[in-house]
Structure 1
């Protein structure tokens, strides 16, 4: 599958989570999304300037583009994983780890605030709370790194030959899977 065909295919199947997608379809589409995101960021910076406090470009082109491409890229990745014989929902594992991290940080801050109210000297809690917080950050960072590497590994695997549980093999030549 070539660059243009993969873009047309992924955009036409923007919310199709059934079936399979060969490697070429997914990776060409990902390249397209990244390239347009870069161009949108440059346009944002050129048209709206840079925020002097954060150093980030102003504007909304890149954000709107990335929001618009979230579902097509998710569905293409979902079909790509199914092409390798894995359930598509595995693509959500890194996002679930990030969500669990955010929830644990929120609960940790809330717990620290509640415990701090009942202790005569709240400064005694700072070192254990900091150590626990750092350990949590390290643990979730390692889990996120492992999940991301595993996801990259799965997305680069060859297609399963023939039909699998998710449908027939995509119509491509073997060199393009």
Structure 2
């Protein structure tokens, strides 16, 4: 599957979460998303300029007003999720595995919120969260949170299952 074929396929299957997607379809579309974001970031900077924001006395950040980039991200969110979902199916896993880091993040936030209250969590007082046994559990959960996106990335790189699975038959090599 070529770069353009993958893009056409992903937009044609805009919100299709069933079936399977081979590695080239997923990774060509991921490359398209990356290139589109970078190019639109430059265009946004040229068209809408930048804003210098003072974060602290003497500490400045430069922010780009990202109008086109945000529109692109919004327009490609569903096909990106759909092709990732189908890619997980192709490796023999449920598409929910794609959301594993998000599930871990929500679980950690909920746990810390119930253990310490949500005020220190949302105000950024992380020092108050690392005390006692709950702090040890929080550190282990942070390790899981660090590993979870890497695990999902590894799952996305796995080869196609060579036989039909519960999500459908093996897609042909040049699937369109």
Normalised by the shorter chain, which TM-score bucket? 0.7 to 0.9
Given the superposition, is the C-alpha separation of residues 27 and 134 from structure 1 closer, same or farther in structure 2, using an over 3 Å criterion?
same
Name the larger-Rg structure: 1
The alpha-carbon deviation at position 127 of structure 1 amounts to 10
Match of 1:120 in 2: none
Q: Secondary structure at the match of 1:52?
A: strand
Match of 1:160 in 2: 161
Match of 2:89 in 1: 82
Going by fraction, where is helix more abundant, 1 or 2? 1
Runs of 5+ consecutive residues of structure 2 not aligned to the other structure: 54-60
- Aligned counterparts of 2:36 and 2:88: Cα–Cα separation in 1: 24
Given the superposition, is the C-alpha separation of residues 145 and 112 from structure 1 closer, same or farther in structure 2, using an over 3 Å criterion?
closer
Matches within 5 A, 1:36-55: 36-53=36-53, 54-55=61-62
Q: Secondary structure at the match of 1:80?
A: helix
- Aligned counterparts of 2:92 and 2:2: Cα–Cα separation in 1: 23
Matched, 1:96 2:96: no
Matches within 5 A, 1:28-67: 28-53=28-53, 54-67=61-74
Going by fraction, where is strand more abundant, 1 or 2? 2
Given the superposition, is the C-alpha separation of residues 22 and 101 from structure 1 closer, same or farther in structure 2, using an over 3 Å criterion?
same
Given the superposition, is the C-alpha separation of residues 78 and 8 from structure 1 closer, same or farther in structure 2, using an over 3 Å criterion?
same
Match of 2:145 in 1: 144
* Contact 1:10-1:29 within 8 A present in 2 as well: yes
Runs of 5+ consecutive residues of structure 1 not aligned to the other structure: 114-125
TM-score norm. by structure 2 comes to 0.80
* Contact 2:51-2:65 within 8 A present in 1 as well: yes
- Aligned counterparts of 2:50 and 2:81: Cα–Cα separation in 1: 30
Give the alignment's Cα RMSD to 1 decimal: 2.7
Q: Secondary structure at the match of 1:163?
A: coil
Q: Secondary structure at the match of 2:28?
A: helix
The alpha-carbon deviation at position 134 of structure 1 amounts to 6.9
- Once the two structures are superposed, residues 10-45 of structure 1 have per-residue CA deviations (whole angstroms, 9 ceiling, x without a partner) of 111111111000000000000001100111111111
